[in-house]
Amino acid sequence: MNDIMKETLEHKHLAHLEALQAAYDRLLATHGFDGVLIYSGHPQRHFADDQHASFATYGHFMHWVPLHGLDHSWLLVRAGQRPKLQLHAPTDFWHLGTTLPDEAWVDAFEIARVDTPTPPGLPAGRYAVLGDVDEQTARSLGAELNPPTLTQALDEGRVRKSAYEIDCLREANRRAIHGHRAARDAFFDGGAELDIQLAYLGASRQRESDLPYQSIVGLNQHAAVLHYQHYELVAEADHRSLLIDAGHRYRGYAADITRTWAGGDASDAFAGLIEGVTTIQHNLIREMGPGVDYPTLHARMHQGLGELLGELGVVRCSAPAAVEQGITRAFCPHGLGHLLGLQVHDVAGRQTADGTALPPPAEHPALRLTRTLEAGMVVTMEPGCYVIPMLLDPLRETPAGGDIDWAAVEALAPHGGVRIEDNVLVTDQGAENLTPTL
């Protein structure tokens, strides 16, 4: 095998599967199991309806099988044996049948196509079954359902990404950026929120149900609703701001990118806020590396926000005072970021490698990553600053309220807020930003 072949995604995937088998062999022996049966999951029906909700394949299944959206399928992993994939492929004239790609990874599995979603029988021994499986099914298999210690150990195995996974995340980012460019152009052309979302989907070449999460497309004040969930059909009369948080999924791996743009009606202060939050993000990325405590980076984000708000004349006190009084938390109530992988908010972000809980600081309960950074982690870096009245208004009646220029706040309010988010790989030397520039 020459060096060029080794560098292909196909060969990286085979190496990923080989390493995954070795890791499972060790964990099964450590926890006393002869094997583990992993269920891909299935769509859930809406109550009193025959339509199904959007479906996401179970992450530990996709860690092996790169087919997002595959349902009612089972994967049996045993030590030292070729994994067995039971593929749900019914003969059905209502839907297009399930097919496998012409890729080398398929030959790494023993594959059986079946018409029913019934799980395969298990050989004699002690087995675990993982996924959205009911107790009755687990009992019928004679298997232990989602044993916590094994599940935690497998979650930990997804924290540091293989070369194959990093390439998948890089490609997801590349495709998502095509959408972000089109969304930006649609905004500057005066489009409504729905127009911007449709431009994003078209340029990133994906349908709504394939997104790793529902896109946030907020114009003006909607940019201050952190998980804004609607798309207005009519363009805004005032062209102040766009905040778009939108991703892509490639072979199961998710991109999660946010950009904020100032429109023709934006104030100079809001343009300065975008520039300042972007600078904070770039500075924090430069500080990343193995051994860096992520909550410490989160605290530095708040220090940077305090300095920025002072520079813009929004607060009159020092940056440490703005943090101490909770002013910066009112302007940014979310965490700095999270682990990223097969799930947008990937597993094991609030625990140590041995499973010990690492809860977020009491004053920052929304922080989703509380670990020390390690090479191979991929994390989001997403500082933000918003005018959210329900968080800011209570400060008016406190001593902190005297340190806030409320006229400046009210001038920023019609713009909503700012978030700048990239996806960053922790390397041995520091960090690599996987998100292309716009």
Measured distance CA(153)–CA(277) in Å, rounded = 36
Q: Is 421 annotated as a binding residue?
A: yes
Q: Is 420 exposed, middle or buried (0-12, 13-18, 19+ CB in 10 A)?
A: buried
Q: Is 3 annotated as a binding residue?
A: no
Q: Are the beta carbons of 178 and 35 closer than 8 angstroms? A: no
Helix (H) or strand (E) holding 327: helix 327-331
HSE, CB side, 13 Å, CA atoms: give it for residue 7: 3
Q: Is 428 annotated as a binding residue?
A: no
Residue type, 194: L
- Provide the residue count of the chain: 438
* Per-residue DSSP letter, 394: G
Residues 6 or more apart whose CB falls under 8 angstroms from that of 124 comprise none
Rounded to 5°, the CA angle 164-83-37 comes to 105
Coil vs helix vs strand at 129: strand
Q: Are the beta carbons of 224 and 386 closer than 8 angstroms? A: yes
Residue 305 sits at φ, ψ, to 5 deg, of -65, -40
Helix (H) or strand (E) holding 112: strand 110-114
CB count, 10 Å around CB of 111? Answer: 15
Q: Is 239 annotated as a binding residue?
A: no
Coil vs helix vs strand at 250: strand
Q: Is 256 annotated as a binding residue?
A: yes
Measured distance CA(284)–CA(298) in Å, rounded = 9
Pairing between β-strand 431-433 and β-strand 422-426 as defined by DSSP bridges: antiparallel
Which of 293, 276, 241 lies closest to 420 in space, CA to CA? 276
- E strands along 315-388, which residues? 378-381, 384-386
Which of 268, 260, 254 lies closest to 241 in space, CA to CA? 260
> Helices 294-311 & 268-287, crossing angle to 10 degrees?
150
Residue 60 sits at φ, ψ, to 5 deg, of -70, -25
Residue list for the binding site: 245, 256, 338, 382, 421
Residue list for the binding site for Mn(2+): 245, 256, 338, 382, 421
